[in-house]
Amino acid sequence: MHCFYTTASRHFDDLFARYGGLIMILNLIKKHESVARELKLSVEYAQCIKCLNQFLLRDKQMIYRTWDMSRTYKEKMQDMIGYLEDIREESI
């Protein structure tokens, strides 16, 4: 896979330099839309992270999670605070 995500690469390099260690990405972009708008961005973002991770050591790769918070809130599908607490615990 050959990719050029130079702006994103610089952004994540800056995060690594500032905070070191592991970077966890929580993508809150909508996954279900009648007309795909945000979904297009979400797909490209996931591809970007996948591409950038291939250049990192396995133990340094960014962790990427998606969660459609808007849908969860509307449909009361899940305990939102509980889910965010789980993400917080995983990231510590």
Q: Which helix (H) or strand (E) holds 88?
A: helix 80-91
Q: Where is pLDDT greater, at 84 or 75? A: 84
- Taking all residues of the chain, what is their mean pLDDT, rounded to a whole number? 86
Distance CA 92, CA 44 (A): 27
Is there a contact between 47 and 39 (Cβ–Cβ < 8 Å)?
A: no
Distance CA 7, CA 10 (A): 5
Tokens representing 6? 């130079």
How high is the pLDDT of residue 45? 94
Q: What is the pTM of this model?
A: 0.79
Is there a contact between 65 and 27 (Cβ–Cβ < 8 Å)?
A: yes
Q: Could you tell me the pLDDT band of residue 18, with boundaries at 50, 70 and 90? A: very high
Q: Where is pLDDT greater, at 10 or 35? A: 10
How high is the pLDDT of residue 55? 93
Distance CA 30, CA 11 (A): 23
How does pLDDT run across 60-71, given as a tens digit for each residue?
999 999 888 777
